[in-house]
Amino acid sequence: MQSRTKIKTAVFLGLLGSSVGVSAEMGDYSFWDTLGNLIWPRGADNPVTQEQQNAAQYPLTPNPSEVADGFNPGAYLQWQTIQLHPDTGAICGNGSPYKFFVNRVAHTSNTVIYMEGGGACWDYESCTGQTGIRGARNPNGIPDDYMSLQNPSASLVSPFVFRLHPWTRTKTQNWNMVYIPYCTGDIYTGDKVAIYEDPTGENDPLVWRHNGVRNMRAVVAWLKNNLERSGQMLMTGCSAGGAGSFANYHPVRRDMAPGKAYLINDSGPIFPAPVTGSEEEYPSLKLQNTIRNVWGLDGDGDGPLYYLQNELPSLDLNDLGTLYTALGEYYPNDRLGHTHFWDDLNYSSYSYERFYDDINNEPDAEKRKQKIHQRWYKDTSHLMTSLDGYDNWGYYIPRFRDVNESHCTSIIEFNNADIQEDGLELGDFVNNVMEGSGPVMSASEEDSVSDYQKGFNLLYWLLDQLL
């Protein structure tokens, strides 16, 4: 306990020093304000309004006043578990209570909202996590100690939220951190209670709550009522969390109202796929058509997609990939980034594996991989083309990293998510999004050989055994 206190003291002194240096930026407090915050923790200055609380669709519903949410405003530099009451609309897929996690600092209002990855589900097999079927994370809910070091896949998942990462540095490590766990299997976009029948008839139907949108609304309500308005805010996450940060960016950014906002969608693409297009040309179309129904994205003309379209006029509900262009047009002064690997074999498998018989029935693993990648390359090329027309959107597409099925560029470290032919590392892209000026960087790796020639990486091997 004493050593942990020493570490926290050293971290605080370092952060305090940074807040008064010449590099202090929007959202940072002065030395004296920081000392004041330590004694009298700063309260909310952008609370939920009556209009937001009474909104006809997806209102912001705070915790009931009598609920003990577990938050201590002065408990800096530690993960705190925030309990959300079901009255807020928040609940996990299995019906257990929803919670999220906050790690606060005293010297800045700047905040990173990190959304957890972890697959997706859309039927009995995937939502029950059957062996051999790709499913979704936390089907049994979220424990209170989720962010302890005993669960490094959350607490140490990325340099964005690993404050003391030993070799990768990024500015969010000095910020307030909000970690949004994932337990609904719907990339944080669903609003439907699904009843999935066991195809064998041997078990009772599964009642599953695809509740991602309402969970996010409850999180935002709590943040507005308990923390100060952010000078700068980054929304990010990997895989389902990347897709979730992208899909929820508009309502979160609108309601949190930071001075500056950034988005980095890591490996959660919502590819262009017009409903009138062919599945050969737009391979993600089968997946998108499936989830629109089972997750309730359209509802009866009042689902999450229509909620977004009400304020994002460029969003074409006949092509979900137009959310990229809609955000680019609605937020011309925000810096927005997308990244994933060309040779991702995880999100790409979710996207095509169970939807195309030539993949699903292919016994040869190498041929199966090639068929997945052929479709992934086509979808990725469409996405890059759509982003090329916007100075405030950038992309960073390296080739391959030998860990986690080459999925998620920003987990573990920023190293080895490089584009060797251009001398770029992922950190260059992150810095460009969050600190650059002019058009956001766009880079894609054409070399398909060099990344496979890197030597054995013991850390990646060990992590793959865990993952």
Average pLDDT of 396-407? 98
Q: Are 233 and 113 in contact (CB under 8 A)?
A: yes
The ranges assigned to domains in the chain are 2-466
Averaged pLDDT of the chain: 95
- Indicate whether 253 pLDDT > 60: yes
Average pLDDT of 327-335? 99
Average pLDDT of 20-38? 87
- Please state, in angstroms and rounded to a whole number, the distance separating the CA atoms of residues 465 and 441: 34
Average pLDDT of 221-228? 98
Q: Are 234 and 172 in contact (CB under 8 A)?
A: yes
- Please state, in angstroms and rounded to a whole number, the distance separating the CA atoms of residues 381 and 304: 27
Q: Which two tokens stand for residue 353?
A: 């594996």
pLDDT band at 404; cut points 50, 70, 90: very high
Least confident of 17-21, 164-168, 228-232, 448-452: 17-21
pLDDT band at 24; cut points 50, 70, 90: confident
Q: Are 29 and 20 in contact (CB under 8 A)?
A: no
Give the H/E segment covering residue 232.
strand 232-238
Q: How far is CA 467 from the centre of its chain?
A: 18
Average pLDDT of 425-440? 98
Task: Write down the pLDDT at residue 132.
Answer: 78
Q: What is the pTM of this model?
A: 0.95
303-330 pLDDT per residue, tens: 999 999 999 999 999 999 999 999 999 9
Q: Are 264 and 432 in contact (CB under 8 A)?
A: no
pLDDT band at 129; cut points 50, 70, 90: confident
Taking CA atoms, 370 is separated from 164, 231, 276, 376, in Å, by: 39, 45, 26, 10
183-221 pLDDT per residue, tens: 999 999 999 999 999 999 999 999 999 999 999 999 999
Task: Write down the pLDDT at residue 175.
Answer: 99
* Alpha-helical segments (H) within 395-454: 426-435
Nearest Cα residue to 107 out of 211, 190, 23: 23
- Please state, in angstroms and rounded to a whole number, the distance separating the CA atoms of residues 187 and 116: 9
- Indicate whether 466 pLDDT > 80: no
Amino acid residing at 205: P
Percentage of the chain surpassing pLDDT 70?
95
pLDDT band at 20; cut points 50, 70, 90: very low
Task: Write down the pLDDT at residue 308.
Answer: 98
- Indicate whether 18 pLDDT > 80: no
Task: Write down the pLDDT at residue 14.
Answer: 55
pLDDT band at 135; cut points 50, 70, 90: very high
Amino acid residing at 316: D
Task: Write down the pLDDT at residue 405.
Answer: 97
Q: Are 397 and 389 in contact (CB under 8 A)?
A: no
- Indicate whether 6 pLDDT > 90: no
Task: Write down the pLDDT at residue 130.
Answer: 79
- Indicate whether 94 pLDDT > 60: yes
